[in-house]
Amino acid sequence: MKAIIPVAGVGSRLRPHTFSHPKVLLNVAGKPIIGHIMDKLIAAGIDEAIVIVGYLGDMVEEWLKKHYDIKFTFVNQPERLGLAHAIWMCQPFIEEEDPLLIILGDTIFDVDLQPVIESPVSTLGVREVDDPRRFGVAVTEGGRIRKLVEKPDTPVSNLAIVGLYYLQKAAPLFSAIEHLINHEIKTKGEYQLTDALQLMIEGGEPFSVFPVHGWYDCGKPETLLSTNEILLRKAIPAKPYPGCIINEPVFIADSARIENAIIGPNTTIGEQAVITDAIVRDSIIGTSAKVAHIMINSSIVGNNASISGNPHEINIGDYSEIRVG
Ligand code: UTP
């Protein structure tokens, strides 16, 4: 079974970190976002992935090929014209009768995929949310989706679409996307997957929903940190560091150096990072970053960045250097 993973976006909401790294390679709870997604897909028996790359796509391709031994097809989306357009680019690699599992590259999910890929009809992952105005929602009736509404002003449904889609057959989806592209039907300037799915629903294609209770967004600094916190709850305890206090849960890479420090809770420390005379909590510290003589929390420190002094909340990119007296 093929999974489609669109990761071509620039990740503007996660700048400065995404200036030098594609969003999906940002570390959360000890491995890149896409590593969490791939592990779930492989556990569900997915043996082929079509990855739509664009911005910093070579880095994504290299990382995936190095870490996973399944069949990959990398499809370039030269212009980011929207999710439906991204899926459209995969058409040459998909048979009309193929079932498709589409998963967004910036969402980590915790759901049993087996019943999803065995579903007798196409089905969309949803989660109940308190404030549906920020999401695309599915309006259902008798277990079937009646319509999809993007960011509803009136509360028509609280079932938010989470970015996990199972299509029983590829052909009707591609016809719907073709219609959008031929008629230049865009929403917010982009060819939207939600619009293509809505066309399919209007055309009589049956869709059900399945609940996704574990749905962890990684699209913004604050959601990256909250996802880090949630995923770390399953981390194995760190080894002891003499002269340091480790407040679990944490992930500390084996090659990191920790001296005279208090680490955690909810903290990821990357490979070769050096933390000395510092207190670090609720944070993600990148590969080869240096943190010294400082107390930080709710912070993301990029790879090779260096920080010392005493600010409390920071969000700095790769190779930054900050010295605060
Ligand atoms: P987002 O809307 O979150 O875009 O796309 P983004 O570029 O990743 O992040 P921001 O909004 O600039 O901060 C959701 C998913 O769809 C992919 C993105 O890579 C991301 O995994 N996508 C979106 C594409 O592959 N192509 C597109 O044209 C649009």
The string of pLDDT tens digits covering residues 26-36 is 999 999 999 99
Higher pLDDT, 249 or 153: 249
**pLDDT for the residue numbered 311:** 58
Q: What is the pTM of this model?
A: 0.91
**pLDDT for the residue numbered 318:** 84
Give the range among 131-135, 165-169, 232-236, 252-256 with minimum mean pLDDT: 131-135
Q: How far is CA 229 from CA 132, 163, 218, in A?
A: 24, 21, 12
Residues contacting ligand 1 via CB (< 6 Å): 6-13, 23, 52, 77, 80-83, 85-86, 104-106, 219
| Strand pairing report for 159-167 and 122-128 | antiparallel
Residue ranges of domains in the chain, CATH in brackets: 2-222 (3.90.550.10), 235-308 (2.160.10.10)
DSSP track, 232-278: HTTSPPPPP-TT-EE-SSEEE-TT-EEES-EE-SSEEE-TT-EEEEE
| For range 59-84, the mean pLDDT | 96
CA of 7 from ligand 1 middle (Å) equals 6
CA of 196 from ligand 1 middle (Å) equals 17
Report residue 258's pLDDT band, with 50, 70 and 90 as the boundaries: very high
Total Cβ atoms within 10 A of residue 79 = 8
**Closest atom, ligand 1, to C-alpha of 220:** 13
Mean pLDDT, rounded, of the chain: 93
| For range 103-112, the mean pLDDT | 91
Higher pLDDT, 28 or 136: 28
Task: At 100, list the tokens.
Answer: 């498709």
Query: Nearest-CA neighbor of 289 among 313, 248, 255, 260?
Result: 255
Task: Check pLDDT > 90 for residue 134.
Answer: no
**pLDDT for the residue numbered 213:** 87
Report residue 312's pLDDT band, with 50, 70 and 90 as the boundaries: low
**pLDDT for the residue numbered 51:** 98
Distance from C-alpha of 199 to C-alpha of 177, rounded to nearest angstrom: 9
CA of 44 from ligand 1 middle (Å) equals 24
**pLDDT for the residue numbered 324:** 66
